[in-house]
Amino acid sequence: MKIGLVRHFKVDAPYIEGKVTAKEFTGWMKEYDDIEVIPTEVDLKDIEWNKCYCSDLYRARITAKTIYGGEIIESPLIKEVDLTFTKEFQNSVDRKVPFLEWSLYSMMSWAKSSHIVTETIDESRDRVDKFLRQLFEVTDIENNVLLVCHGMIMTILDEELKKRGFKGDTVVSALNGELFLYERK
């Protein structure tokens, strides 16, 4: 069985320049989910992919439809990590800092399972575990499965696939449209 992870196409949106509040950062992050993508060539290594799953976010759905010709199964379990700040946090902090600082702060908060972000790393891992358990219940060992998803969730999928005996690439920083290949014999 082979599993391929592909990060969605690049989103056609610049980051916010200048200083923003936590509320403005969160608003931009939510808008990002619906912005158009820039299609590119994806090398699927001439593998016959029997199934394709994708995140239910727009950028992953469009990528999957562009690179895979068969049926695509959408799953919210492999959507991107939700790094938006909770309403409580947004309302308690009115300080403006550069967009990149909020981005780094939200990622560190997620990694530490802080409840100022909407989702913790433990919740993300639980989602991926649930997805993989469901996948392996319904997928024949002879099938090759393509998963179109997002950078941060791919790092968790990478860890979880290796825990389950898959060998392959290591996701450190996935480029848009890049395939990471795993195999278990």
Total structural domains in the chain? 1
Confidence band (pLDDT; 50, 70, 90) for 185?
Answer: confident
CATH number of the structural domain spanning residue 15: 3.40.50.1240
Beta strands in 21-117 (DSSP E): 37-38, 51-55, 72-75, 97-98
In 3D space, the residue among 102, 99, 121, 101 whose CA is nearest the CA of residue 110 turns out to be 121
| Distance between CA atoms of residues 131 and 112, nearest Å | 22
Domain extent at residue 158: 2-183
72-90 pLDDT tens trace: 999 999 999 999 999 999 9
| Distance between CA atoms of residues 160 and 109, nearest Å | 21
Cα–Cα distances (Å) from 171 to 26, 92, 149, in that order, read 26, 35, 13
Structure-derived torsion over alpha carbons of residues 158, 75, 117, 129, reported in degrees to the nearest 10:
-40
Lowest mean pLDDT among 26-30, 65-69, 117-121, 138-142: 138-142
Confidence band (pLDDT; 50, 70, 90) for 157?
Answer: very high
153-173 mean pLDDT? 95
88-129 pLDDT tens trace: 999 999 999 999 999 999 999 999 999 999 999 999 999 999
